[in-house]
Amino acid sequence: MDLDYLLVIPSWKSVGILVTFFTYLAIAGSVLPAKLVPGVTLQDGSRLHYRCNGRFLSTIFFSFALYSFFVEMGSFFVISERGLELLSATFIFSFLVTLALYAAGSKSRNQSSSLKPCVTGNLIHDWWFGIQLNPSFLGIDLKFFFVRSGMMGWLFINLSVLAKAIQGATLSHSMILYQIFCLIYILDYFFYEEYMTSTWDIIAERLGFMLVFGDLVWIPFTFSIQGWWLLGNKVELTTAAVIANCFVFLLGYLVFRGANKQKHVFKKNPKALIWGKPPKVVGGKLLASGYWGVARHCNYLGDLLLALSFSLPCGISPILLPDLSSYPSNMERKERRGSLCREVQRSVDGIPETCSMENTAILLLRQRIYNQQFGDHFAFSA
């Protein structure tokens, strides 16, 4: 990758690319056929419905990418040639959006569960974590829209980098391996997009800079670092290394998808069979079967293995570190909840022998949070 082409200051062209990208996702997401997936029931009895049509969006987008590559080849390289420029434009956009969200939320008098402002008085805290649960714009749920944009942006960047490697005759086995792993992961997200509606980000986190930056900047630009690096660095992998890399990816994918699917199914139907058996439940709410009976956060283990498989095609190099940097971010959120758990833990009595002190504290904490925001009837797992 020739760094002479990368400008830190955004140009009007990078802004135009960003506006076109968001406009496509907004319009296509609103008009294409979609499966309406109901969200959780909020405290005021309302319930959001999410238009899950990521399969159509990704198919059309992928078709456009192929057309651009074979028919208008030069236009498709603009992403790989203006990476830092687009990064800075997206960062500025994320910053401005969260300022607008903060300003609109602070002035809101809406008392619904989705839009009721939660203001602590700490400007930095409220801007970082957000003050409204489900803000929307022109009828589009912004939280769901931004995470979809981040995943699609990651796909866009990767395909542009791949096209650049093909044009420059620098396509290596390492690049192919990285691209295949990422493509499977991204398409899997859109295939199981409805599972996103039961994640902590969607149902409990307010929309602030943390989520907006994570969706629009962190996901597409950090997770694609390996592709950028492989453009200018050729790594020769042995057959054994390729097989080992594939094994790590497959193991991570099975654990990640399996754990998240079990969690989603359990939340929708607490009596659904897990691995062919009735689920074991602790305290009436805590899933302790399947992957969740092996460890409390098997989904994080799967995520880490997948992140490792994305980086292994680069060989032994510092580029291994950025993708694994998602681990500290997950741990930060875990610790943030953990500090609240410790407060709850001090008042816990009658802990079941089959449930650890930490799990019971988390159970009670989440029960409190869900009851406050979504009512009393919602099943969740650890």
Question: What are the tens digits of pLDDT across the range 60-70?
Answer: 888 887 777 77
Give the integer Cα–Cα distance in Å for 164 and 329. 31
**Domain spans, the chain:** 1-236
pLDDT at residue number 92: 94
HSE-up of 118 (CA within 13 Å, CB side)? Answer: 20
The candidate with the shortest Cα–Cα distance to 333, out of 193, 188, 214, 195, is 214
Number of neighbours of residue 312 by Cβ within 10 angstroms: 25
Tens-place pLDDT, residues 246-303: 999 999 999 998 888 888 788 777 777 888 778 777 766 677 778 777 777 778 888 8
Res 335: pLDDT: 55
pLDDT computed for residue 217 by the predictor: 95
List own/partner pairs for 210-213 with CB under 8 A and 24 or more apart: 210/128, 210/129, 210/130, 211/130, 211/143, 211/146, 211/147, 212/94, 212/97, 212/98, 212/101, 212/146, 213/91, 213/94, 213/98
Under 8 Å between Cβ of 135 and 207: yes
Give the residue carrying structure tokens 């319009």. 27
Task: Give the residue among 106, 146, 149, 142 at the shortest CA–CA distance from 127.
Answer: 106
d(CA 163, CA 279): 47
Q: What is the pLDDT of residue 171?
A: 87
User: Residue 196's pLDDT is what?
Assistant: 87
Averages of pLDDT over runs of 10 residues in the chain (382 residues) are 55 89 93 89 84 90 78 67 87 95 88 85 90 91 94 92 85 92 93 86 89 94 91 87 94 89 79 78 72 77 90 74 50 52 42 39 45 39 40
To the nearest whole percent, how much of the chain has pLDDT over 90? 35
pLDDT at residue number 268: 75
- Residue 196 sits at the vertex; the CA angle it makes with 225 and 279, to the nearest 5 degrees, is 120
Can you give the pLDDT at residue 234? 84
Give the position of tokens 């960047």: 157
**Which pLDDT score, from 0 to 100, does residue 348 have?**
38
For residues 139 and 340, what is the distance between their CA atoms, to the nearest angstrom? 34
Burial class of residue 324 in the structure, from the number of CB atoms within 10 Å of its CB (0-12 exposed, 13-18 middle, 19+ buried) = middle
Q: What integer pLDDT is reported at residue 357 of this predicted model?
A: 38
- pLDDT on residue 343: 46
Give pLDDT tens digits for 320-329: 554 554 544 5
- 263: Cα separation from own chain's centroid: 16
